[in-house]
């Protein structure tokens, strides 16, 4: 039988992502509680079995009726970031208590609470968020309902709050590292958390248990910041170690008066003093759920600064070369930007094999080799990634005011001169074909024979 | 006076509505009704447009580059313009599966004809043979529709196939390539007529060659493919605007009609529609119900209604569509000429090939390619892209595409039905189609004639590059509840009144008993006006 699910905090980071992934058809009803709606909520609102309730946790009357017809509750609502201690307790602890009371009245069969790895930290002086989460966990454990408490480690995903603040840190001219930087983190990708949570709800797993959800790899916090820096910025990384305890003390004192003006709070430094890792990771054990590697997670979540990653500057150079080759002039910024965008949208390199890699690399050397590769692919490999790239370039050029004339014009030359040009072009074509066969055919044969892993596609990124 | 409830705002719906409004009826029109995006830089021609737009690549290739055609895409010669995507957008309530058929559906204001190519051809007596009325009986309505939409045509050799009616403006100025073809034809016509039964002339198109009322004549802006910016090119939303001027007209958009309810006497009492925004269910009382949601959608509503009432899944047989073939060609006399993009972009030349049975003649239209995106064509050369650009530049003005159309008849193996979920909660439209045996030979025969006739006109037709479009692609669907003198189940009267439900009418292609090779929309509109005038 299909379940009805009640979600609090549906518009938060995890909630939004979860709603994007969820398959509404698998549920009888989905009720979402939140204080304001967003695009995802609006787009789901056209479904019959989806209902958004605009209310605060404390306002039981407005959501009780929906809880009455729910089977499971996913409690995501929480106050994070910078706030006063009493606020953390009002929302995270007292809010949970109110919700739980109502859930008991409504006979909820499974109460799933998303807590935080911080609830497992040893050193949490001044970290009120962690305190409030611990309090909430206790309330749930003692509450008498069937529960599952999940504690995600550091949640990484496009624009995830923790990623945003770490990136800000990594961007600083000198990156401050609080403490010795050797505490460990075990970041987990947002979609994997979502997958775990949904699987717990759907299969009623881990009843009356508390479990940590972590990614597959552990790394020191300093190492992780280094990885972030590499993934997103071009500049050389400079780091400065700062004494974490004294800074925490100063912050704690200042928070009383100047909370609004502080870049972060003492509590938020806790990641630099506590290991945020999981010895066991039961949600992923033997259950076939995806656990995204750190490499993949960074590739998915971190947008490189313009020109930061070799690949992007390569593409700019490629665009310059291609435009010059095709129409004999340089691209403007608009054309370059569109080439990057189109290249990503059409996901051109996804099926590239060894021969593709070689063709692209060779073609990127200069217009002579580009011509050879262009001629070769026109006869022997018409679906080549290189050909697609050139066509994308052409498609863009034909749309732009500065260049459309160049891709569509008659040669206004007299008969004889035109004849000579034609002959010249035919001659060059045949000669290029001859040379290109000598150069590329061996790779083609090799490619056809191996058909092995396509890892060799990395070849084309110039070093 | 009587209330009439119409489903749909496509070509057939709006002309039916306008006629009954003029007669004084109260009309409610239910429609999903997706709207056309704002027209950008309306004053500019195709080249100036590239300069006027802030993000031309976004406009021509689409936000996600969906109109960029890579080499492994398939063989259509141009990608669908991104700004017309709304016409093919489907609400989540609608689902379908099909076999042997690649259907298109529209839920837009104005329907599919918001993206049509405007070919408008009256049917002659032999083509109307299976219909319960003659050309003469339909003529006044052809005249009326021609007046409403504004169309043009010439009295030339195509009279062999296209009967004349009133209110035709003189043809648009032909582009240079089209006039070259016509003058070659004029010189060779005796040979072509006698040897191949091949005739050529101006096409009939729903475009204004003169200013008329508040619509401006064609300015030859060359933007047709991306939507005419000034209303010179007819689309049904123009007539919808006209209907909206009547106070007795109520247009309710955002409504997906699922089914109608009926009583023991098979009298329809109401229509059930779901809001596209919030999926709420709405009931509309019915006095007379007119289905004009396009043949496939009208059939679906009919099927679903019977299913809801009786639990029975029926089949509506006899679905028809025109087979189409696209063939590129090269006019040798045009090589090296400058290509003028600022001209009318759809077909200006039509041709016909006679067949033994005159109902089955083959109908062709010629488009000379000018402002369509060129990267899909350039890549078809067996040359490197740089040389291809050079070659294309010199060949562009000489290129064209022939669009061949074949007739279709009602056959039992081709049908529309429903797929029902295991728990009976959801239904999906089901379409099954199998081409007639021997179709291949007919197509090859036609291509052979085309190849030879065009060669005579100075054009090379590389038959190998012909693209046989899948059934469903021409989007001329018809025939699932045909007009019939006999009062059998799932048929309609001469006045398109259902034989199954006495207060139900169909005014789209649903009731066509035969589908000639010529595009059907003009006849559909005329028929809708006929029903409105004569049955109500
Ligand atoms: C690219 C292209 C080119 C074409 N060129 C030509 C041509 O040159 N000449 C020619 O004669 N024909 C041409 N056609 C075909 C022509 O467009 C169609 O024959 C014509 O549009 C059919 O009109 P219709 O009234 O049957 O309904 P449609 O155009 O199918 O419109 C259906 C209407 O009903 C509404 N609707 C559908 N289902 C529901 C529902 N369940 N609830 C509420 N509303 C609903 C839709 O919103 C829409 O308003 C072309 C079509 C295409 C796609
Ligand atoms: S019909 Fe075509 S050419 Fe004429 S004005 Fe409209 S878009 Fe321009």
**Pocket probe mutation, ligand 2, options B215, B223, B342, B367, max atoms within 8 Å of Cβ:** B223
pLDDT digits over A363-386, tens only? 999 999 999 999 999 999 999 999
Shared-domain flag, residues B142 and B289: yes
> How far is Cα B428 from Cα B194, in angstroms, rounded to an integer?
50
Which alpha helices (H) appear in B292-428, and where do they start and end? 295-310, 375-378, 385-395
Q: Is the dihedral of CA B148, B150, B155, B159 positive or negative?
A: negative
Shared-domain flag, residues B244 and B140: yes
Q: What is the DSSP letter of B425?
A: S
| Band (B76; pLDDT cuts 50, 70, 90) | low
Contacts of B18 (CB under 8 A, 6+ apart): B148, B239, B242, B243
**Pocket probe mutation, ligand 1, options B96, B103, B104, B106, max atoms within 8 Å of Cβ:** B106
> How far is Cα B529 from Cα B138, in angstroms, rounded to an integer?
10
pLDDT digits over B131-181, tens only? 999 999 999 999 999 999 999 999 999 999 999 999 999 999 999 999 999
User: Could you identify the residue written with the tokens 């030979």?
Assistant: B441
Say which residue, A175 or A195, is predicted with more confidence: A195
Q: Is residue B59 part of a domain?
A: no
Shared-domain flag, residues B332 and B368: yes
Collect all residues of chain A within an 8 Å Cβ-Cβ radius of residue B65. 341-342, 345-346, 392, 395
For A429, the enclosing helix (H) or strand (E) is helix A415-450
A214 and A153 in contact (C-beta within 8 Å)? yes
* Length of chain B measured in residues: 536
> How far is Cα B506 from Cα B7, in angstroms, rounded to an integer?
10
Give the other-Cβ count within 10 Å of B244's Cβ.
Answer: 14
pLDDT of residue A456: 40
- A286: its two tokens: 């033997």
Nearest to A80 by CA among A22, A164, A146: A164
Nearest to B385 by CA among A351, A376, A412, A352: A376
Contacts of A51 (CB under 8 A, 6+ apart): A29, A30, A31, A32, A66
pLDDT digits over A139-179, tens only? 999 989 999 999 999 999 988 888 888 888 887 777 888 88
Shared-domain flag, residues B496 and B385: no
User: Could you identify the residue written with the tokens 């995806």?
Assistant: A290
Q: Is residue B58 part of a domain?
A: no
pLDDT digits over A228-243, tens only? 887 776 566 777 888 8
Please name every residue paired with A178 in a beta bridge, in sequence order, or none if there are none. Answer: A242
Using alpha carbons, list the distances in angstroms from residue A306 to A331, B5, B351: 17, 57, 55
pLDDT digits over A73-129, tens only? 999 988 887 788 888 888 888 999 999 999 999 999 999 999 999 998 888 887 888
> How far is Cα A307 from Cα A310, in angstroms, rounded to an integer?
7
Shared-domain flag, residues B367 and B489: no
Please name every residue paired with B431 in a beta bridge, in sequence order, or none if there are none. Answer: B98, B416
B196 and B351 in contact (C-beta within 8 Å)? no
> How far is Cα B401 from Cα B380, in angstroms, rounded to an integer?
14
pLDDT above 90 covers a percentage of chain A that reads: 43
Q: Pick from A399, A401, A413, A437 the residue to mutate for testing the B interface (most B CBs within 10 Å).
A: A399
How big, in percent rounded to 5, are the helix, strand and coil portions of chain A?
55, 10, 30
Lining residues, ligand 1, CB within 6 Å = B 7-13, 30-33, 104, 106-108, 111-113, 115-119, 255-257, 292-294, 297, 301, 475-476, 508-509, 519-522
User: Could you identify the residue written with the tokens 């209110």?
Assistant: B167
Q: What is the DSSP string of A328-343?
A: SS---HHHHHHHHHHH
Q: Do A401 and B56 touch (CB under 8 A)?
A: yes
Nearest to B104 by CA among B118, B88, B83: B88
- A174: its two tokens: 């000198």
Give the chain B residue nearest A412 (alpha carbons): B336
Shared-domain flag, residues B184 and B203: yes
| Band (A459; pLDDT cuts 50, 70, 90) | very low
Q: Is residue B451 part of a domain?
A: yes
Using alpha carbons, list the distances in angstroms from residue B211 to B151, B217, B230, B443: 12, 4, 11, 41
| Band (A53; pLDDT cuts 50, 70, 90) | very high
- C-alpha torsion angle, residues B457, B461, B463, B469 (rounded to 10): -90
Q: Is residue B450 part of a domain?
A: yes
Rounded to the nearest 5 degrees, what angle is found at the Cα of B198, between the Cα atoms of B194 and B200?
A: 125
Q: What is the DSSP string of A113-177?
A: EE--GGGG-S--TT-HHHHHHHHHHHHHHTS-S-EEEEEE-SEESTT-HHHHHHHHHHHSSSEEE
Nearest to B98 by CA among B416, B411, B510: B416
Q: Do A410 and B339 touch (CB under 8 A)?
A: yes
Cα B255 to ligand 2 centre (Å): 32
A304 and A312 in contact (C-beta within 8 Å)? yes
Report pTM.
0.73
Q: How many CA atoms lie within 13 A of B328 on its CB side?
A: 20
Cα B415 to ligand 1 centre (Å): 19
pLDDT of residue A179: 84
User: Could you identify the residue written with the tokens 């496009």?
Assistant: A158
Q: Do B384 and A46 touch (CB under 8 A)?
A: no
For B281, the enclosing helix (H) or strand (E) is strand B281-285
* Length of chain A measured in residues: 463
> How far is Cα B397 from Cα B475, in angstroms, rounded to an integer?
29
Q: Whose CA is nearest to atom 5 of ligand 2?
A: B218
Containing domain of residue B208, as a range? 71-79+155-233+324-405+437-470
Q: Is residue B41 part of a domain?
A: no
Q: Do B383 and A346 touch (CB under 8 A)?
A: no
Q: Is the dihedral of CA A32, A37, A42, A46 positive or negative?
A: positive
B56 and A401 in contact (C-beta within 8 Å)? yes
pLDDT at B118 over 50: yes
Which pairing describes strands B316-317 and B151-152: parallel, antiparallel, or unpaired?
unpaired
Residue B416, sorted as left (phi over 0), alpha (psi -120 to 50) or beta, turns out to be beta
pLDDT of residue A122: 87
For B14, the enclosing helix (H) or strand (E) is helix B11-22
Query: What's the per-residue H, E or C state across A40-68?
Result: HHHHHCCCCCEEEEECCCCCHHHHHHHHH
Give the chain B residue nearest A45 (alpha carbons): B278
Q: Which domains does chain A have, with CATH numbers?
A: 3-301 (3.40.50.720), 312-461 (no CATH)
User: Residue B534 maps to which CATH number?
Assistant: 3.50.50.60
pLDDT above 90 covers a percentage of chain B that reads: 91
- Supply φ then ψ for residue B209, to 5 degrees: -95, -5
Residue A144, sorted as left (phi over 0), alpha (psi -120 to 50) or beta, turns out to be left
A21 and A191 in contact (C-beta within 8 Å)? yes
Say which residue, A311 or A11, is predicted with more confidence: A11
pLDDT at B403 over 90: yes
pLDDT at A305 over 70: no
Predicted complex ipTM: 0.92
Q: Do B279 and A411 touch (CB under 8 A)?
A: no
Q: Is residue B63 part of a domain?
A: no
Shared-domain flag, residues B358 and B482: no
Shared-domain flag, residues B386 and B489: no
| Band (A454; pLDDT cuts 50, 70, 90) | very low
Atom of ligand 1 nearest to the CA of B205: 8
B417 and B315 in contact (C-beta within 8 Å)? yes
Shared-domain flag, residues B329 and B401: yes
Q: How far apart are the first and last CA of chain A?
A: 56
Q: Is residue B482 part of a domain?
A: yes
pLDDT digits over A326-347, tens only? 999 999 999 999 999 999 888 7
Shared-domain flag, residues B371 and B449: yes
> How far is Cα B483 from Cα B497, in angstroms, rounded to an integer?
8
Q: How many CA atoms lie within 13 A of A136 on its CB side?
A: 36
Q: What is the DSSP letter of B415?
A: E
Q: Is residue B43 part of a domain?
A: no
- How many domains is chain B built from? 2
Shared-domain flag, residues B369 and B451: yes
pLDDT digits over B517-530, tens only? 999 999 999 999 99
pLDDT digits over B89-98, tens only? 999 899 999 9
Shared-domain flag, residues B330 and B400: yes
> How far is Cα B506 from Cα B483, in angstroms, rounded to an integer?
10
Point out the residue among A346, A398, A404 whose CB comes nearest to the CB of B70: A346
Point out the residue among A338, A383, A411 whose CB comes nearest to the CB of B57: A338
Nearest to B227 by CA among B340, B81, B41: B81
Point out the residue among A378, A390, A399 whose CB comes nearest to the CB of B61: A399
């Amino acid at each position: 039988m299909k379940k009805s699910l009640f979600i609090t905090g549906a518009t938060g980071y995890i909630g939004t992502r979860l709603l994007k992934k969820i398959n509404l058809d698998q549920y009888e009803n989905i009720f979402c509680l939140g204080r304001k709606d967003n695009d995802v909520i609006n787009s789901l609102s056209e479904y019959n079995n989806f209902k958004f309730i605009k209310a605060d946790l404390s306002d039981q009357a407005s959501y009780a009726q929906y809880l009455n017809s729910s089977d499971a509750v996913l409690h995501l609502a929480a106050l994070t970031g910078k706030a006063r201690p009493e606020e953390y307790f009002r929302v995270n602890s007292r809010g949970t208590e109110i919700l739980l009371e109502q859930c008991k009245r409504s006979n909820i069969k499974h109460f799933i609470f998303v807590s935080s790895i911080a609830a497992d930290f040893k050193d949490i002086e001044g970290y009120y968020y962690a305190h409030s989460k611990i309090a909430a966990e206790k309330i749930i454990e003692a509450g008498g309902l069937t529960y599952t408490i999940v504690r995600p480690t550091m949640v990484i995903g496009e624009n995830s709050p923790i990623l945003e603040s770490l990136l800000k840190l990594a961007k600083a001219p000198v990156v401050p590292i609080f403490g010795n930087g050797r505490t460990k983190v075990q970041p987990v990708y947002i979609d994997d958390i979502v997958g775990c949570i949904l699987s717990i709800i759907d299969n009623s797993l881990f009843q009356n248990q508390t479990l940590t959800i972590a990614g597959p790899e552990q790394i020191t916090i300093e190492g992780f910041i280094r990885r972030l820096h590499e993934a997103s910025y071009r500049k050389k990384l400079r780091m400065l170690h700062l004494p974490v305890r004294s800074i925490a003390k100063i912050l704690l004192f200042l928070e009383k008066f100047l909370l609004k003006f502080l870049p972060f709070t003492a509590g938020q430094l806790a990641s630099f003093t506590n290991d945020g890792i999981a010895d066991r990771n039961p949600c992923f054990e033997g259950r076939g759920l995806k656990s995204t590697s750190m490499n993949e997670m960074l590739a998915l979540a971190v947008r490189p600064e313009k020109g930061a990653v070799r690949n992007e500057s390569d593409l700019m150079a490629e665009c310059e070369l291609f435009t010059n080759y095709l129409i004999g002039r340089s691209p403007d910024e608009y054309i370059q930007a569109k080439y990057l965008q189109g290249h990503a949208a059409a996901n051109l390199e996804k099926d590239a094999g060894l021969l593709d890699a070689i063709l692209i690399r060779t073609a990127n050397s200069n217009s002579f080799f580009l011509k050879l590769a262009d001629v070769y692919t026109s006869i022997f490999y018409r679906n080549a990634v290189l050909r697609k790239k050139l066509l994308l370039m052409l498609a863009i050029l034909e749309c732009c005011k500065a260049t459309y004339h160049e891709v569509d014009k008659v040669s206004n030359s007299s008969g004889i001169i035109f004849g000579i040009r034609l002959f010249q072009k035919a001659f060059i074509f045949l000669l290029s074909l001859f040379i290109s066969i000598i150069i590329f055919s061996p790779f083609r044969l090799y490619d056809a024979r191996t058909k092995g892993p396509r890892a060799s596609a990395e070849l084309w990124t110039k070093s | 006076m009587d209330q009439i409830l119409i489903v749909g705002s496509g070509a057939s719906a709006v002309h039916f509505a306008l006629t009954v409004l003029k007669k004084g009826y109260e009309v409610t029109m239910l429609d999903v009704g997706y709207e056309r995006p704002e027209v950008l830089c309306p004053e500019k021609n195709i080249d100036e447009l590239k300069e006027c737009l802030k993000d031309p690549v976004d406009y021509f290739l689409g936000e996600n580059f969906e109109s960029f055609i890579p080499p492994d895409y398939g063989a259509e010669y141009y990608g669908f313009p991104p700004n017309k995507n709304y016409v093919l957008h489907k609400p989540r309530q609608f689902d379908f599966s099909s076999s042997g058929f690649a259907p298109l559906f529209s839920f837009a204001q104005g329907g599919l004809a918001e993206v049509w190519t405007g070919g408008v051809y009256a049917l002659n007596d032999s083509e109307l043979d299976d219909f319960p009325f003659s050309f003469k009986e339909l003529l006044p309505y052809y005249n009326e529709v021609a007046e409403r939409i504004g169309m043009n045509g010439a009295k030339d050799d195509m009279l062999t196939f296209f009967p004349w009616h009133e209110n035709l403006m003189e043809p648009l100025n032909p582009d240079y390539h089209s006039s070259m073809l016509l003058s070659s034809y004029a010189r060779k016509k005796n040979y072509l007529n006698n040897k191949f039964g091949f005739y050529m002339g101006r096409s009939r198109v729903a475009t204004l060659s003169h200013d008329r009322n508040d619509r401006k004549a064609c300015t030859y802006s060359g933007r047709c493919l991306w939507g005419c910016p000034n209303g010179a090119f007819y689309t049904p939303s123009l007539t919808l605007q006209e209907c909206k001027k009547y106070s007795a007209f109520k247009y309710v958009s955002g409504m997906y009609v699922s089914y109608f309810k009926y009583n023991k006497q098979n009298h329809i009492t109401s229509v059930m529609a779901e809001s596209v925004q919030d999926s709420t269910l709405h009931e509309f009382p019915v006095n007379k119900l007119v289905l004009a949601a396009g043949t496939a959608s009208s059939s679906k509503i009919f099927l679903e209604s019977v299913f809801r009432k009786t639990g029975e899944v029926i089949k509506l047989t006899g679905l028809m569509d025109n087979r189409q073939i696209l063939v590129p060609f090269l006019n040798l006399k045009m090589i090296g000429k400058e290509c003028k993009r600022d001209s009318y972009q759809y077909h200006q030349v039509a041709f016909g090939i006679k067949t033994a049975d005159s109902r089955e003649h083959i109908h062709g239209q010629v488009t000379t390619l000018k402002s369509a995106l060129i990267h899909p064509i350039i890549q078809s050369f067996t040359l490197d892209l740089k040389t291809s650009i050079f070659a294309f530049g010199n060949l562009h003005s000489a290129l064209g595409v022939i669009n061949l159309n074949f007739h279709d008849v009602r056959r039992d193996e081709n049908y529309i039905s429903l797929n029902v979920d295991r728990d009976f909660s959801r239904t999906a439209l089901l379409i099954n189609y199998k081409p007639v045996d021997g179709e291949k030979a007919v197509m090859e025969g036609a291509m052979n004639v085309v190849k030879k006739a065009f060669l005579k006109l100075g054009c090379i037709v590389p038959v190998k590059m012909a693209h046989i479009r899948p059934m469903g692609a021409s989007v001329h669907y018809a025939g699932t509840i045909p007009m019939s003198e006999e009062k059998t189940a799932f048929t309609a009267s001469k006045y398109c009144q259902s034989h199954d439900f006495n207060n139900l009418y169909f005014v789209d292609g649903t009731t066509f008993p035969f589908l000639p090779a010529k595009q059907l929309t003009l006849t559909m509109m005329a028929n809708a006006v006929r029903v409105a005038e004569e049955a109500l």
